[in-house]
Amino acid sequence: MSAIQIARYLVSFSWLYHGIFPKLVYIAPLEKLMTGSIGLSDELSYFVTKSAGVGEVIFGIVIFIFYKNKSIILLNIFALVGLLLAVAVLQPQLLIEAFNPVTTNITMIGLSLILLNEDADNKQ
């Protein structure tokens, strides 16, 4: 299996997993903490979390299918940077926890850079 395919599967899997399990199947306590930190009511927090889960699942599928589209991959990188900044502003203590957004998002950005370089690799 090529590095491109491994990157494609891992980036897609990560979006799918983070959309399905900590948001759709079961709302993880950290998800509640994040939405609660912006002052949402319980009902609105539930809706936002579930909507974010659906969005992440859709985005994971889009990346899986359109992994050669540079705009999609750039959007992925910007989303990951934005989410990391949101955590840094809303719940900075999470940045030093085990399995934190820093390690997850930077790894995903690195895998996305592999996908971005696919055209350059194919032209050599």
- Can you read off the two tokens belonging to residue 91? 């719940």
Q: Is residue 36 part of a domain?
A: yes
Distance separating the N- and C-terminal Cα atoms of the chain: 19
Q: Tell me how far apart the alpha carbons of residues 88 and 57 are, in angstroms, rounded to a whole number.
A: 24
Blockwise average pLDDT, block size 10, the chain, 124 residues: 96 98 96 91 94 98 97 98 96 94 96 88 60
Q: Whole-structure pTM over 0.85, yes or no?
A: yes
Residue range of the domain that includes 57: 3-116
pLDDT of residue 45: 94
Looking at residue 77, what is its pLDDT? Answer: 98
Written as one string, the DSSP assignment of 38-72 is TT--HHHHHHHHHHHHHHHHHHHHHHHHSTT-HHH
Number of structural domains the chain divides into: 1
- pLDDT for res 68: 96
**The pLDDT of residue 118:** 82
At 84 the three-state DSSP class reads helix
Amino acid at residue number 101: P
